[in-house]
Copies of this chain bind each other. A is one copy, B any other.
Amino acid sequence: MSLPAAFHDIAKRVNNWGRWGSEDEIGTLNLITDEVVRRAAAEVRTGLRVPLALPLRHDGVQTGLIPGRVNPLHAMTQINQEIFGPGAVACSDDAVTMGLQAATHWDALTHVSHSGLLYNGRPAATITPHTGAEFSGIDKARHIVSRGVLLDVARALGTDRLDGAHAVTPEDLDAAEELAGTRVRAGDIVLVRTGQVQVYLAGKREAYGHPSPGLSIRTPEWFHARDVAAVANDTLTFEIFPPEIEDLWLPVHALHLVEMGMLQGQNWNLEKLSTACGEVGRYSFLLSAMPEPFVGATGTPVAPVALL
């Protein structure tokens, strides 16, 4: 089995290898210039802050399908411990074990490979158990703050939540962009709302995962044309799942991460942001979504915040 021509045709059109030099490790994050950030800051008008992470808890979005992708196991290692003697100030401490892709997260560019290669043509074998990803680990992506634009596809299509079989198309993105009233431009971070996270919020953890609406294989070209810096949405699988083309699994992952060098985020809770944007009548904002700098990691939990 190898990837079909349908994939390779798109890959050729969106490929960014070498665009920022052969040494580059951060891909489209290069598009977030100081100028972009300055203009993004100008989006803050109400001072409203909307956090976009799901709470980190043992009954998170993972249901055991992927071996190492475990929900956070939080444990208190000290509780009101008078470590300096009786009557002294007492300390509480905790520790956690979790999969780095288990909750609201960023995929690093190294999260997937295809044909033995990673972004910018680096060998997949540069990821090792000893040091993780030698190139393009999530610790290299240190400055993820830019203008965010909510493309509220569900609302644009007049529904609260897209159907599990709905592949989000470029036309859907166009419609949501029109609703947003702003044109997506170079360096923007796009948040695509399907409404699917409501299934998890309603306690239906198994059903949240799949079938799931998500991005169509046709959307990477849309993002490429606009020179988007990163894309996140409110689903577990990010792209439509099961996939549109039989036996072509995770094509959007491969196009975004490997070909374009564009970070993507999953399990973002965009419900309150949708409400807020609807109320203020604007769908753009300053978005801060800094990765935890795990050295050599292929993903990270993230606690994004939108400032409207």
* Shortest distance from the beta carbon of A106 to any chain B beta carbon, whole Å: 11
A47:B36 contact, CB within 8 angstroms: yes
B286:A303 contact, CB within 8 angstroms: no
> A46 — which chain B residues lie within 8 A by C-beta?
34, 38
Q: What is the number of residues of chain A that contact chain B, defined by CB distance less than 8 Å? A: 101
* Shortest distance from the beta carbon of A135 to any chain B beta carbon, whole Å: 12
Segment of A80-88, A156-164, A218-226 engaged in the interface with chain B: A80-88
Interface centre among A99, A145, A250, A292 (most CB of B within 10 A): A292
A68-84 toward B: CB 8 Å interface, digit per residue (1/0)? 11101111111111001
Q: Out of B49, B116, B288, B293, which one reaches A56, CB within 8 Å?
A: B293
The answer to whether A298 has its CB under 8 Å from any CB of chain B is yes
Q: Out of B72, B92, B127, which one reaches A111, CB within 8 Å?
A: B92
The answer to whether A305 has its CB under 8 Å from any CB of chain B is yes
B143:A51 contact, CB within 8 angstroms: yes
Distance, CA A94 to CA B107, complexed state (A)? 11
Distance, CA A37 to CA B48, complexed state (A)? 8
* Shortest distance from the beta carbon of A257 to any chain B beta carbon, whole Å: 9
> A273 — which chain B residues lie within 8 A by C-beta?
none
Copies per complex of this chain:
4
Residue in B closest to A87 when the chains form the complex, CB atoms: B1
* Shortest distance from the beta carbon of A37 to any chain B beta carbon, whole Å: 4
B92:A112 contact, CB within 8 angstroms: yes
Q: Out of B96, B247, B254, which one reaches A294, CB within 8 Å?
A: B96
The answer to whether A177 has its CB under 8 Å from any CB of chain B is no
Given contacts A67-B78, A75-B75, A292-B292, 20 further A-B contacts (CB under 8 A): A1-B85, A34-B46, A41-B307, A49-B145, A63-B64, A64-B64, A67-B73, A68-B93, A70-B70, A70-B73, A73-B77, A74-B132, A75-B129, A77-B130, A84-B247, A89-B113, A90-B124, A92-B127, A143-B305, A290-B290
A-B contacts, 25 of them at CB < 8 A, read A3-B89, A34-B48, A37-B307, A38-B45, A51-B143, A53-B293, A63-B64, A67-B130, A68-B75, A69-B77, A73-B95, A75-B75, A77-B129, A80-B124, A80-B125, A84-B247, A89-B112, A89-B113, A89-B114, A90-B114, A90-B124, A94-B299, A288-B290, A290-B303, A292-B301
